[in-house]
Chain A
């Protein structure tokens, strides 16, 4: 494989420079640069316009007192000061912390378990697979509604069944400490099918010969899992961890909105819901933007750590 053109040592040409007679006038390297620029352009522009600029605007908004009716007053870092002094902000962060720390590992284990189960080639697998993916297919608002009915204190199926078993029903959404875990359980119910499929794909990528060899060596299922599945599944695991953490930190708004409105007694007022109420309920866009910026910052830090660990998201190298 010989190089057609000599490497260009100057290398200063702008990647996006529009060149007329491309074929002859450019080195291979420069053509590659140009191609890359053009390939990235549509998405790059779109992301800049519809995500980048709004984010910059929102950081700018966080430095203003915004009335919600088009008036802006420069307040510097006052919104951030307010944030650090706002007990509700810290309470929301605390709840979000619990939510993430419980939801992510539980979701991880359940989906991995289901993935392993689906890999067993049991009769009716395609039916189970569809069934388990069902919840992911309807909107969170409707999921919220369905569960609200089923968790009804008086007539809900859940309490009725419990009473049938001789136990007491619970107001699943009516007690602050209980409601948060109810939401987590529902979120696991919604997301487990999706991550199950991701895990399943990762599991099917592991060569069957490894297991055969291990079995000949007399390794039981647990030993096989520890020595083969777990290490070879690492790229998948990283992906699921990152995606579910981001989803847990920023998602679930519709669910809270339909099921609890942040209650009872602020028991499900996760940070994303608190930001929502400050912005859209109270018109405090400046303050909401400050909290939103802070949240984005936290996620950037988190993602940075994960990136470091996984070498720029190139999970394949992680092994």
Chain B
């Protein structure tokens, strides 16, 4: 009934999983083994058809921005399919279920994951340590690694590239021009220090307007938006040598900043407009909101006439500017139906030196989306073609992104320790010192037993 005789006649699947240990003694385990170890036997097992899970396409929509993004992906796959024997099928997973949902984890856990998929930095190490990331390096053209430069750092382990970023997405502080003018503020009041920022936020806030918005929901994204404040004071979660370094003055002051902002009512405890950035701006609910470059294209699509601005994240006394750079990457499943071809596809799409590849990436970063290009050659070509002529994109490229650091790839325990510290100080009024110490202790304890790839 469970069809475990199914692949009796065929060759064993190439990737039999290890089922180590004394399962034999446990009757239940013995009964369950055939299920856990799987029988392969999927229809696509010949490796001629690969799946590509993503949150863009194929999707029917009238939304011009989403349409353009979906089209970019379908064109990409069509181009590949027209010229290659191994065909790729796009599988659409709604964005909200893609990150932090059930879909991807349950597929991978049951060894039924996609061949190609989009990977975020926060998840990188988990997948890497799980052994499902295929080495893309052999498939890349010469010089591509250098062309990517720093944006590959968080996707590289021991000099090998395991995922190719399609975009770079920096964070900045957005502000609403109308709200500022209503409070008698102007461009000249743009804060450059933390204290100024809190002052401006205090002036902007009212019963229905949030002065300054930081992410409030716990999650990888909140950590991502908090790291710049830590880095600006010279702090780190893990230092350059791979040691735990959380217990620092910088961590205390960064946690203190968010705590003060909330305690004084300058920053809200929950996201305005249920987290919908755009409608919050259009309804005048916010003065300032720390958010990413992707909203440039959102404004363009939904509120082209709305007046907004953004500026570099302010810095603490004696601090140095920094921001966090996010962005998704293509990854190939090392345990998939055809890891070699999957890796080849990723490299073909984003890791070649030919015109087609460069133009394709220009198209993605400046036409379909609004992002900073991850490769220097692409950035140059895009600038040349006028892709960064729009003031907002130009500012992100020239002012905001330089000095930024890629989103770290900390594993769950480290992420959770930092997240608990942020949440505890920001929303539960816990002491900054004790939370820093507690987080540092659990990070240190974890590092002692951690055996996977480097955390930096």
Q: Which residues of A contact B (CB under 8 A)?
A: 49, 53, 56-57, 59-61, 63-64, 66-75, 145, 148-149, 152-155, 163, 169, 171, 173-176, 260-267, 279-285
Contact = CB atoms under 8 A, between A and B. Distances in A.
25 contacts: A60-B28, A60-B36, A61-B36, A63-B26, A69-B111, A69-B132, A73-B20, A74-B22, A75-B21, A149-B274, A152-B272, A153-B210, A153-B269, A169-B207, A175-B269, A176-B428, A261-B219, A263-B217, A263-B423, A264-B216, A265-B428, A266-B423, A281-B412, A283-B130, A283-B412
A171 B109 contact: no
Contacts of B106: 280
A210 to B, nearest CB: 51
Contact of B285 (A154, A163, A266): A154
Nearest to A151: B270
Contact of A263 (B22, B28, B274, B427): B427
B274 A174 contact: no
B288 to A, nearest CB: 15
Interface in B1-51: 1, 15, 17-23, 26, 28-29, 31-32, 35-36, 38
A66 B32 contact: no
Nearest to A67: B130
B415 to A, nearest CB: 9
B276 to A, nearest CB: 10
A285 B102 CA distance: 12
Contact of A56 (B18, B28, B101, B130): B28
Interface string B182-208: 000000000000000000000000011
A284 B412 contact: yes
B117 to A, nearest CB: 13
Given A154-B208, A154-B209, A264 B269 contact: yes
Contact of B427 (A60, A154, A176): A176
B190 to A, nearest CB: 24
Instruction: Please provide the 8 A-B residue pairs with the shortest distance between their CB atoms, ordered closest to farther.
Output: A74-B21, A174-B269, A69-B130, A264-B427, A265-B428, A282-B412, A171-B269, A265-B423
A66 B219 CA distance: 22
A174 B210 contact: no
Contact of A68 (B29, B32, B126, B217): B126
Nearest to A149: B274
Nearest to A173: B270
A67 B126 CA distance: 8
A267 B216 CA distance: 13
A266 B430 CA distance: 13
Contact of A59 (B28, B102, B207, B424): B28
Interface size class, chain B: 35 or more
A149 B280 CA distance: 12
Contact of A163 (B131, B207, B209): B207
A280 B102 contact: yes
Contact of B23 (A74, A148, A281): A74
Contacts of A283: 105, 108-109, 126, 130, 412
Contacts of A176: 427-428
Interface of B: 1, 15, 17-23, 26, 28-29, 31-32, 35-36, 38, 100-102, 105-106, 108-111, 113, 126-127, 129-132, 207-210, 216-219, 268-270, 272-274, 283, 285, 335, 412, 416, 420, 423-424, 426-428, 430
B108 A53 contact: no
A145 B105 contact: no
Contacts of B130: 67-69, 71, 283
B102 to A, nearest CB: 5
User: Which interface residue of A63, A66, A68, A261 has the most chain B CB atoms within 10 A?
Assistant: A68
Contacts of B23: 60, 74
A267 B427 CA distance: 10
B105 A280 contact: yes
B218 A263 contact: yes
B131 A71 contact: yes
A53 B31 CA distance: 9
A265 B422 CA distance: 8
A169 B268 CA distance: 12
Contacts of A60: 23, 26, 28-29, 32, 36
B26 A53 contact: no
Nearest to A54: B35
A72 B26 CA distance: 15
B273 A281 contact: no
A261 B274 CA distance: 13
A92 to B, nearest CB: 13
A56 B126 contact: no
A67 B128 CA distance: 11
A260 B423 contact: no
A280 B101 contact: yes
Contacts of A266: 218, 420, 423
Nearest to B420: A266
Nearest to B103: A280
A57 B270 contact: no
Contacts of B131: 67, 69, 71
Nearest to A262: B218
Contacts of B270: 152-153, 171, 173-174
Nearest to B424: A265
A72 to B, nearest CB: 5
Contacts of B283: 155
B218 A279 contact: no
B93 to A, nearest CB: 14
A281 B29 contact: no
Contacts of B29: 60, 63
B109 to A, nearest CB: 5
A176 B426 CA distance: 11
Contacts of A173: 269-270
Nearest to B108: A69
Contacts of A163: 207
Contacts of B1: 49
A280 B132 CA distance: 16
A73 B268 CA distance: 45
Contacts of B32: 53, 56-57, 60
A68 B109 contact: yes
A264 B109 contact: no
A260 B219 CA distance: 11
Contact of B111 (A70, A74, A171, A262): A70
